Amino acid sequence: MLMDTPIHKDIVTLQSHILAQQDKNPQSTGTLSWILSALSISAKVIADHVRRARLEDVLGHAGADNVQGEQQQKLDVISNEVLIRTLGSREGVAIVASEENEEPVIIRNDTAGERRYCVLFDPLDGSSNLDVCGGVGTIFSILRQDRRASDAEASLLQPGEQQVAAGYILYGSSTVFCVSLGDGVDMFVLDPAIGAFLRVEEKLKIPVANKSYSLNEGNRLSFPEGYRDYLAWAQENGYSSRYVGAMVADVHRILLKGGVFIYPPTAKAPNGKLRLMYEANPMAMLIEQAGGKALAGLDSNGEAQRIMALKPKNIHERCTVILGSPDEVDHVVRHL
């Protein structure tokens, strides 16, 4: 009987999930829902480009220029354009900030009227994996516009705790949309047959422990001593290593299976490589909402420093990242 197969028991799309969340909050005006739906549309468009990247590349080489006569653009630039255009068409978006743009893009800055939001994103994180058909992703973070701020960038420099929503889209063996609106983490998979994201996990909880670490061991010799001590301890205790080299793919695996993702300070990146505003903060929100821990190392008093408590100084600043299962993060901190 078709209707009693699991998938049909309660088919919840991302769209209906967003509207249900909106209904829970009587004060909500639907502005945030429109922004999330813009991210959902962008995700489908980018997923289509990603799946066709090599083909478009091949097709592009045939003519050297695309149909508009433009030089074939790199996919992260295309993804950036898709996000800016789609979000720009939403009334509730004041400012967008992207890894691809040095300056924030001001969409609307009239100070009167509706509450407005700022959306920060890495349009195609790990795009170097595209050439080898590896996982790549989009990471997004949504803040309320701070109208008292002197300028666009100042309005964005809020600690991660201020995020109203955060999430990622993983373009992997399937297209996964993972999001938190501050009340747990929900996960959706794109069904290309109907063009909708269907919910596969509700209020996801990260496993408390899993003997698996994820970091680029090629940088080991330039890690601070505590990280090298942790690595030695983990290898003496039977840990496995998993590292895709794309944060979205590594964090997705850790959300589902547990473990710890680490990007320590290195010789090339003494403050860490990952960006605070649109990589570390959104991932930290998801991990904490799923019951995990997300740290930027130790603070000046030697205490664990939560990523989401950091006060940003500029929108492209970098930070150290230690995030994942609570027990696994504790093992790292114990060695720092």
Contacts with ligand P6P by CB under 6 A lie at: 125-126, 216, 245-247, 273
Tokens of residue 49, six digits: 């480009």
CB of 86 to ligand P6P, least distance (A): 22
**In this complex, which beta carbon is closest to ligand P6P, that of residue 246 or of residue 277?**
246
CA–CA distance, 57 with 137 (Å, rounded to integer): 19
What's the DSSP call for residue 98?
Answer: E
Q: Are 92 and 34 in contact (CB under 8 A)?
A: yes
Tokens of residue 208, six digits: 């408390």
CB of 100 to ligand P6P, least distance (A): 13
CB of 125 to ligand P6P, least distance (A): 4
CB of 244 to ligand P6P, least distance (A): 8
**In this complex, which beta carbon is closest to ligand P6P, that of residue 72 or of residue 216?**
216
Instruction: Find the length of the chain.
Output: 336
**In this complex, which beta carbon is closest to ligand P6P, that of residue 34 or of residue 177?**
177
CB of 44 to ligand P6P, least distance (A): 22
Q: Which residues does 274 contact at the CB level (< 8 Å), separation at least 6?
A: 247, 263, 280, 318, 319, 321
Q: Are 160 and 285 in contact (CB under 8 A)?
A: yes
**In this complex, which beta carbon is closest to ligand P6P, that of residue 149 or of residue 269?**
269
**In this complex, which beta carbon is closest to ligand P6P, that of residue 34 or of residue 227?**
227
CB of 303 to ligand P6P, least distance (A): 25
**In this complex, which beta carbon is closest to ligand P6P, that of residue 92 or of residue 126?**
126
CA–CA distance, 320 with 296 (Å, rounded to integer): 5
Alpha-helix runs per DSSP H in 175-266: 225-236, 247-257
CB of 92 to ligand P6P, least distance (A): 28
Tokens of residue 173, six digits: 């063996």
CA–CA distance, 166 with 113 (Å, rounded to integer): 24
CB of 71 to ligand P6P, least distance (A): 23
The DSSP annotation for 139-176 comes to EEEEEE--TTSSSHHHHH---GGG-SEEEEEEESSSEE
**In this complex, which beta carbon is closest to ligand P6P, that of residue 136 or of residue 185?**
136
> How many CA atoms lie less than 13 Å away from 198 in the CB half-sphere?
13
Q: Are 313 and 265 in contact (CB under 8 A)?
A: no
**In this complex, which beta carbon is closest to ligand P6P, that of residue 15 or of residue 216?**
216
